[in-house]
Structure 1
Amino acid sequence: MRPIPTFSFALAALVCGALMPGLAAGRMLPDFVDLVAENGPSVVNISTKQAPATAEQLREFSVPDLPEDSPLQDFFRHFFGEEGELPEDGDNPQSRSLGSGFIVSTDGFVLTNAHVVEGAEEIIVRTSDRREFVATLVGTDKRSDIALLKIDGEGLPAVKIGPAQDLKVGEWVLAIGSPFGFESSATAGIVSAKGRSLPSENYIPFIQTDVAINPGNSGGPLFNLDGEVVGVNSQIYSRTGGFMGLSFAIPIDVVMDVVDQLQTKGKVSRGWLGVLIQDVTRELAETFGMKQPRGALVAQILPGSPAEAAKVRPGDIIVSYNGRDILTSGALPPMVGITPVGERVKLQVLRGGELVDLEVEIGELPEDEQLAARPSEPEKVPANRVGLFVSEITPEQREQLSVAAGGVLVEGVEPGPAEQAGLISGDVILMLDNQPVQDLAVFNRILDAIPSGRSVAVLVQRGDGRMFHAIRVP
């Protein structure tokens, strides 16, 4: 093998260093040492004492079928034994939940998740210097999963609050907490997405990160590189009970609004529009004459709601809220939720292919915003051109289905376009091709007038909800 002159290596190093100094510096990983040292004392460990469960209460709990390597296996073996045996009354000690929190004021206000302290008889806050305080629960908000605590202390180390709205996807963030009870654990990652809506709560625009979050991290702070808290770690997506790369934090601006309301009013109020909405799919966009899917499609107007007073209609597509574009349906609820009750806002909706401006006075979100809907023989007709057997709705059926007026009942579905669109027996068709369906005759007239090969939107009531489907007429 022929030796390579050593000066060539030196020359290559010099050339690379001269040509790419910015690239080398740009790819350096951030140093979290100072950030952890400065903010670690502000992060606390939270444990609670709860009344012991009776054997009867425990029998109502079913042990889930977890994978053998799940980190929760040890938990269930500890409390239920290898075979899931239940203790007798009085044998089980007071349970203790474990979570994280952080000090937001030098006089002792502490933030954590509401689920960390739920049902607690006593809340104990432990600081990094091993001091322990019995905390008072100031208030909780289950929708945002935020709890505000107060401990007796002066000159406590408090965090700096930062602007969550300035976060960018790809930005580095750091979490400090007590995963599995290991106190003052720091984990880092990046912001994966912003404005995430979760099935459990669509009024919170969650920050998604890939920071390692595990049981015990709940309620802990999420920091940016400036050492400012930008979120409260709240949830993870997991099939095993442990971290799988998807963590969700509540934006700190949402959190601080909750804190302000808890301190001043003792409860949290949120804006309410009173519509049930869905995403605009590619097929539905075609039926509404849209070039591309966007906006929030209104499937139902709740009685007595602000939307009803503002003359919003089913089939409207909300494309703008107070001047802010709505790209997906999930973007609308957080915007409405943070709007002060009583404020008048402007809506822009797409109705019949034209943009319509509306003004609505935002109401207060009720505890339960869902409508209460409960699921002589009608005249049957042959299957129509989309494969539906439909009939008039009898007065008895109207009462059972909570359909005050209009609509036709789907008695059966045969293989064809309607089945492919997801319609099933028992559905009530309220609108077809953006036109209200008053009765069977109107339904047939609208359907007969639709040109072959065109997709149309069908508004269907099923159970207690309404949703649009797109059917392509063969």
Structure 2
Amino acid sequence: MILSAVLLALIAVQENPAADAPDAAPAAPSSARSVTADTLPKVVKIFGAGGLRGLPAYGTGFLISPRGHVATAFNHVLDASPNILVVLDDGRRLTCKLLAADPVSGLAVLEPERDDLDLPYFDPAAFAPAEAGDRVLAFSNSYKVAGGDEPVGVQRAVIGAVAELDARRGRNAAGIAGPVLILDAPTNNPGSAGGPVVDRAGLLVGVIGRELKNDATNVFVNYALPAEVIGATLTAMMEGEFVASDVAPPVFSGGPQPADLGALLVADVVRRTPAYVELVEPGSPADAAGLRPGDLIVLLDGELVPSIRLLRARLAAVEPGEPVDVVVRRDGELLPLTIAVPDVEDLREPPAELSRPRR
């Protein structure tokens, strides 16, 4: 709460028009404060699955309908559905379920159990196109600065560039198509993903993305997904008209597969078959790591894997010889495991599944 108050105070101090660039249009001294006051009631705190190493159990979102639909980032926190806790700006608590998600863009929409709400919200169709040099405000519950009716954190930033994102999460490519907004402030922290970015008029400009590192420099990237690109997606998700894309992250030929780790998955019979483990080969890397039949693989190197298809694609992008971190759901609990990936010369050729036992 103290951190949030300091951030708000800094915004008010920095709003002195004399400190602006000479060619900038003069702004009212209270404009940033007014925008902040108008935006905070539309921002929510999200609590769900997590709490393991490197996996915070909290996040950020924003309201996109008066009924209480919430736009946020698609991540492990939402694995708590249908019991995701959403805390409004005034401290009221809502129980929500995951309504729709897109692993490619990294977006998700939540729906509350209640249908009697009348809340302030952002209209995803009423966005502001963004350009390099635009001044914006980024809102988020980074580092869990708020848990009840405390305001989330606010950061003042400038859009440094609108460019393609060449980044990764862990050992996997980011898989984000199209340009993003590169920000000059440290906006992308634990718990920040899903927070709104608004312009000086309070219009939605973008959504803070998941934590990613620049593929060339290995430095975390501060960026947001442009609202003008994702607005239609959020609307379709909310209205039940969204169809998830099957586009997968880049895959290099000959990459590891579950069989190389000693794991047999259930038959991939539908487009989004969950990644359940059917068999673990004794003495294999998966066996040594503690993987067991019946486990549901939900995360690979911090990325959600909602289907066998995406698990195979993301695993194939892992460098042979490097360990891979997975999180499995077992008996209602999330368990972190680290599995050694064989060196390239030890990969099965051609890639193949383990044999299923005869019944």
TM tier, smaller: 0.5 to 0.7
Question: Does 1:192 find its partner at 2:192?
Answer: no
1:295-338 deviations in whole A, cap 9, x for unaligned? xxxxxxxxxxxxxxxxxxxxxxxxxxxxxxxxxxxxxxxxxxxx
Residue of structure 2 in register with 1:442 after alignment: none
Residue of structure 2 in register with 1:131 after alignment: 92
Residue of structure 1 in register with 2:273 after alignment: none
Aligned 8 A contact 2:60 2:192 in 1: yes
Note closer, same or farther for the CA distance 1:261–1:161 as it changes in structure 2 (3 Å cut).
closer
Question: Does 1:201 find its partner at 2:175?
Answer: yes
Note closer, same or farther for the CA distance 1:108–1:170 as it changes in structure 2 (3 Å cut).
same
Aligned 8 A contact 1:163 1:230 in 2: no
1:404-463 deviations in whole A, cap 9, x for unaligned? xxxxxxxxxxxxxxxxxxxxxxxxxxxxxxxxxxxxxxxxxxxxxxxxxxxxxxxxxxxx
Aligned length: 223
5+ residue gaps, structure 2: 1-17, 147-151, 168-172, 253-308, 317-348, 352-359
What is the alpha-carbon distance in structure 2 between the residues aligned to residue 107 and residue 202 of structure 1? 30
Aligned 8 A contact 1:258 1:268 in 2: no
1:211-263 deviations in whole A, cap 9, x for unaligned? 33221111110111121112110134569xxxx78312112233233224433
1:319-376 deviations in whole A, cap 9, x for unaligned? xxxxxxxxxxxxxxxxxxxxxxxxxxxxxxxxxxxxxxxxxxxxxxx96889x9xxxx
Alpha-carbon offset, residue 210 of structure 1: 1.6
Local SS of the residue matching 1:235: coil
Local SS of the residue matching 2:101: strand
What is the alpha-carbon distance in structure 2 between the residues aligned to residue 245 and residue 142 of structure 1? 20
> Which aligned pairs between 1:54-453 and structure 2 lie closer than 5 A?
97-121=57-81, 122-151=83-112, 152=114, 153-161=116-124, 166-183=129-146, 184-197=152-165, 198=167, 199-213=173-187, 214-237=189-212, 246-262=221-237, 263-269=239-245
Residue of structure 2 in register with 1:429 after alignment: none
Alpha-carbon offset, residue 23 of structure 1: 6.7
Residue of structure 2 in register with 1:415 after alignment: none
What is the alpha-carbon distance in structure 1 between the residues aligned to residue 21 and residue 183 of structure 2? 25
The code of the aligned residue for 1:48 comes to: G
Alpha-carbon offset, residue 196 of structure 1: 1.9
1:26 alignment partner, one of 12, 24, 38: 24
Local SS of the residue matching 1:26: coil
Question: Does 1:48 find its partner at 2:48?
Answer: yes
Alpha-carbon offset, residue 133 of structure 1: 0.5
Alpha-carbon offset, residue 201 of structure 1: 1.3
Alpha-carbon offset, residue 265 of structure 1: 3.6
1:238-294 deviations in whole A, cap 9, x for unaligned? 69xxxx78312112233233224433345324789x9x9xxxxxxxxxxxxxxxxxx
Aligned 8 A contact 1:174 1:211 in 2: no
What is the alpha-carbon distance in structure 2 between the residues aligned to residue 166 and residue 35 of structure 1? 17
The code of the aligned residue for 1:112 comes to: T
What is the alpha-carbon distance in structure 2 between the residues aligned to residue 253 and residue 117 of structure 1? 26
What is the alpha-carbon distance in structure 2 between the residues aligned to residue 224 and residue 132 of structure 1? 28
Higher relative contact order (CA 8 A, sep 6+): 2
Residue of structure 2 in register with 1:36 after alignment: 36
Aligned 8 A contact 1:210 1:245 in 2: no
Aligned 8 A contact 1:175 1:187 in 2: yes
Residue of structure 1 in register with 2:343 after alignment: none
The code of the aligned residue for 2:92 comes to: R
Alpha-carbon offset, residue 130 of structure 1: 0.6
What is the alpha-carbon distance in structure 2 between the residues aligned to residue 180 and residue 149 of structure 1? 21
Alpha-carbon offset, residue 207 of structure 1: 1.5
Aligned 8 A contact 1:164 1:251 in 2: no
Note closer, same or farther for the CA distance 1:209–1:116 as it changes in structure 2 (3 Å cut).
farther
Aligned 8 A contact 2:125 2:231 in 1: no
Q: TM-score scaled by structure 1?
A: 0.40
Residue of structure 2 in register with 1:408 after alignment: none
Note closer, same or farther for the CA distance 1:118–1:192 as it changes in structure 2 (3 Å cut).
same
RMSD: 4.0
What is the alpha-carbon distance in structure 2 between the residues aligned to residue 162 and residue 212 of structure 1? 27
Higher-Rg member (1/2): 1
Alpha-carbon offset, residue 154 of structure 1: 2.1
Local SS of the residue matching 1:249: strand
The code of the aligned residue for 1:217 comes to: S
What is the alpha-carbon distance in structure 2 between the residues aligned to residue 132 and residue 123 of structure 1? 10
Alpha-carbon offset, residue 29 of structure 1: 7.9
Note closer, same or farther for the CA distance 1:177–1:202 as it changes in structure 2 (3 Å cut).
closer
What is the alpha-carbon distance in structure 2 between the residues aligned to residue 106 and residue 257 of structure 1? 18
What is the alpha-carbon distance in structure 2 between the residues aligned to residue 28 and residue 228 of structure 1? 19
Local SS of the residue matching 1:207: strand
What is the alpha-carbon distance in structure 2 between the residues aligned to residue 29 and residue 238 of structure 1? 35
Local SS of the residue matching 1:143: coil
